[in-house]
Structure 1
Amino acid sequence: MTWRMPAETAPHDRTWMAFPRVGVTLGESTADREEGYRAWTDVAHAIGEFEEVTMVVDPSERDRARRMLGSHITQLEAPLDEFWMRDAGPTFVVDDERPGVLGAVDWVFNGWGAPPWAEWQKSAELGRFVQEQAGAELVDSDLVNEGGGIHVDGEGTVLLTETVQLDPRRNPDATKASVEAEMARTLGATAFVWLPRGLTRDYDAFGTNGHVDIVATMPSPGRVLLHSQRDAGHPDVEVSRTLREHFAAATDAQGRSFEVVDLPAPATLRDAEGFVDWSYVNHHVINGAVIACAFGEDRADADARAVLAEAYPEREIVSVDARPIFARGGGIHCITQQQPTVGSRS
């Protein structure tokens, strides 16, 4: 078997999500919790205009999910604590030698390095549950990894971050060579672009330690959309510069140099917790559309939509307010996971 992870732009059968449940991530107050439920619901409804959405729901949230999601969002019940589907769920792959076969990589999930605040033991079983419900072949892995920690172009290139896959809280014995071997086995990767770090906010107590899906994505082979912080008052100015230099020296699986396209950050620099990591890179590509992050900044949101429209021609750009999601530790890409259509290329 030769597994390959298709690009996110390949046709999808559906998008998988997980409905929020009461806990540290959702928030302490009733208002906080309602804001979180609404944000996840808004994303599901936006996606549902273009492709099927399947939402995994903890039994404790059964009634609320039915009321908020409606009958057109498929709902399946399973125990949850964390509800970031990209990270706790599986990564779907295909086998080009068996065109009708779908695979699902079940990474080890330990709550982004088992920090003391995280509740992750229930959602550590989510990958296997989704794999079974999707009728996919299990691709088991001993690597502690999250879907937000990788990006692929469908042609063999994978983006990684040294502070994620080599994080001693995740994989204390890992080396670049061992991680690359696992990416080759599970995703069909042949070229490995190791970024040195992620955004500043992502290294605080509630961060992922540098997920790539908030800083860079490949909308098409040979091209990178890169988070660009341009305000000297934000420490991510230096991060953006470092990553741009890194991509300038890298090549993809086909030996091409990368064309780097800046995706400028919003103007907001700080929130109550410190420097923000608001990023338009953290969008979700679906059939016929891109579900883009919005941050309540008319000009910046419009500029980002223009960049995304050029990067994803013939797809509608749909913006959803992502501030409540970022306040809980991620963005739209982090709460979604695409299931590719088997037999399709790219």
Structure 2
Amino acid sequence: MKRPTNPPTPDGGSLDRRRFLTAAGLAAAGAAAAAATGSSALAAVRPAAGTAAAGAFAVPAEDVPHLRTWMAWPDSTAIWKGRLSGIQSNIALIAKTIARYEPVIMLANAASAARARSLCGSTVTVIDTIPVDDCWMRDTGPVFRTNGSGGLDTVGLGFNGWGGRQTCTRDALVAERIAARLGLPFTRAGLVGEGGAIEQDGAGTLMATRSSIINANRNPGRTQAQLEAAMCAAYGASKVIWFDGIAGQDITDDHVDATSRFLAPGAGLVQMPLASDNDVWANDARQQYRILSTSTTAAGNPIAVTRLQGPDYYKIRSTSQDFVASYANYYVCNGAVISAQFGDTTADSAARTTLTRLFPGRTVIQLNIDHLGAGGGGIHCVTQQQPAV
């Protein structure tokens, strides 16, 4: 969820979550997007050699035990103009915190691997054999699937720089390269999207925004039915709960994981705005709550939805008009829930209390990630879990 009352930019639009209309390789990104949204990227799911029969693998819930967490080290001064040091400090903080609970592997470019190792410390493993463009591992990394019998494979969602808005020459290959490093089968999904755009409950139900998935910048000419079928095939699911979302106001076209999350089959969470907030983001959150509260799971059961109160944007530390103050963008790792705090002490404390109640037996840790929030994302956005099998 964004700060309300965004001022217009010189071109008449609104300031975006990740400043996607920068000059950082936009022309190249557009060319990459055109290629990525062509017929080959939109072909039916193509199982790799050794992949089990369709339907045997499914993406588990995020709270299952993890083998490790994958992250990526940002080093582009073109993308992070004047802000790179702060972003790197936040990424290092997140990585070191998660490493207290499970192994973390950080992908870094060879030229910046030494700095990544220095800031992350010895508890984080930094490798420089898989190059990256940026830090958004939730969107660029592979989606891991299990089959309940010790099998593990991966799916790539055809990342195209959020519809050509950012250069992704390296990031477009991250999912497949991680799979190859692990020796795991890799399947290219029958759609273009990002991991942050799709939430799963691990029992056959997905949720997503139409604005992000059913969008010509990712999936031109595709119908909702076609994309729903592709999502279900990729995730091993059978039902999608759709929210309208918001197109064109941020680089992600309104990723669901900043607002709504699954807690378990039949249980969800939506971050709610203040009653006085009436911008498009606040109304979007209210719509997501209404829809999720009246939806059923793939098994036909009702969904109990918890309200997670968001902060007062006029009481948080950051004054960035692009700031994303999402408690809901937390990451569940082994034994802990890693979330954010923004300086609205009342809201921060209430969010911690809510998450502690929702995740009994896990330690809730709140981090100051204001640089990342000003860059348009959160902790879930920069992590990707590999489940244990």
- The answer to whether the superposition gives a TM-score over 0.5 is yes
The secondary structure found in structure 2 opposite 1:113 is helix
TM-superposed deviation, 1:238? 1.9
Say which of 237, 241, 261 aligns to 2:286: 241
What is the aligned partner in structure 2 of residue 297 from structure 1? Answer: 344
Say which of 159, 167, 190 aligns to 2:207: 159
Contact 2:96 2:121 in 1 (8 A): no
Q: Which amino acid aligns with 1:81?
A: D
The secondary structure found in structure 2 opposite 1:112 is helix
TM-superposed deviation, 1:274? 3.2
- Over the matched positions of the two proteins, sequence identity in percent amounts to 33
The secondary structure found in structure 2 opposite 1:144 is coil
Task: After superposition, give the CA deviation of every residue in 1:109-153 in whole Å (9 maximum; x if it has no partner).
Answer: 1111102xx121111010111112233211222411100001111
TM-superposed deviation, 1:322? 2.4
| Structure 1 position 177 matched with structure 2 position 225 | yes
Q: Which amino acid aligns with 1:154?
A: G
| Structure 1 position 255 matched with structure 2 position 300 | yes
The secondary structure found in structure 1 opposite 2:328 is coil
Say which of 212, 216, 223 aligns to 2:260: 216
Deviates more, 1:316-325 or 1:70-79: 70-79
What is the aligned partner in structure 2 of residue 131 from structure 1? Answer: 179
| Structure 1 position 104 matched with structure 2 position 158 | no
Contact 1:150 1:158 in 2 (8 A): yes
What is the aligned partner in structure 2 of residue 230 from structure 1? Answer: 274
Counterparts of 1:21-32 in structure 2, within 5 Å, are: 21-25=75-79, 27-29=80-82, 32=83
What is the aligned partner in structure 1 of residue 23 from structure 2? Answer: none
Contact 1:89 1:130 in 2 (8 A): yes
Say which of 267, 272, 287 aligns to 2:334: 287
Counterparts of 1:12-23 in structure 2, within 5 Å, are: 12-23=66-77
Contact 1:83 1:123 in 2 (8 A): no
Task: After superposition, give the CA deviation of every residue in 1:226-252 in whole Å (9 maximum; x if it has no partner).
Answer: 010014245133222212221132111
| Structure 1 position 187 matched with structure 2 position 187 | no
When residues 111 and 305 of structure 1 are mapped into structure 2, their CA distance, relative to the original with a 3 A threshold, is same
2:180 and 2:77 map into 1 onto residues whose CA distance is 26
TM-superposed deviation, 1:258? 1.2
What is the aligned partner in structure 2 of residue 43 from structure 1? Answer: 94
Contact 1:216 1:281 in 2 (8 A): yes
The secondary structure found in structure 1 opposite 2:349 is helix
1:297 and 1:233 map into 2 onto residues whose CA distance is 16
Contact 1:164 1:211 in 2 (8 A): yes
What is the aligned partner in structure 1 of residue 27 from structure 2? Answer: none
The structure carrying a bigger strand percent of its residues is 1
1:308 and 1:126 map into 2 onto residues whose CA distance is 31
TM-superposed deviation, 1:273? 5.1
Long gaps (5+) in structure 1? none
Counterparts of 1:313-324 in structure 2, within 5 Å, are: 313-324=360-371
1:135 and 1:109 map into 2 onto residues whose CA distance is 21
1:219 and 1:286 map into 2 onto residues whose CA distance is 13
TM-superposed deviation, 1:275? 6.6
| Structure 1 position 140 matched with structure 2 position 191 | no
1:267 and 1:134 map into 2 onto residues whose CA distance is 43
Q: What is the TM-score when the length of structure 2 is the normalising length?
A: 0.81
Say which of 145, 148, 151 aligns to 1:93: 145
Q: What is the TM-score when the length of structure 1 is the normalising length?
A: 0.91
TM-superposed deviation, 1:191? 1.4
What is the aligned partner in structure 1 of residue 309 from structure 2? Answer: 264
When residues 211 and 311 of structure 1 are mapped into structure 2, their CA distance, relative to the original with a 3 A threshold, is same
1:134 and 1:164 map into 2 onto residues whose CA distance is 30
| Structure 1 position 119 matched with structure 2 position 167 | yes
Contact 1:106 1:140 in 2 (8 A): yes
Contact 1:157 1:253 in 2 (8 A): yes
Say which of 120, 131, 139 aligns to 1:79: 131
Contact 1:101 1:137 in 2 (8 A): no
What is the aligned partner in structure 1 of residue 103 from structure 2? Answer: 52
Task: After superposition, give the CA deviation of every residue in 1:194-241 in whole Å (9 maximum; x if it has no partner).
Answer: 11115xxx843x521010000100111111110100142451332222
TM-superposed deviation, 1:276? 4.2
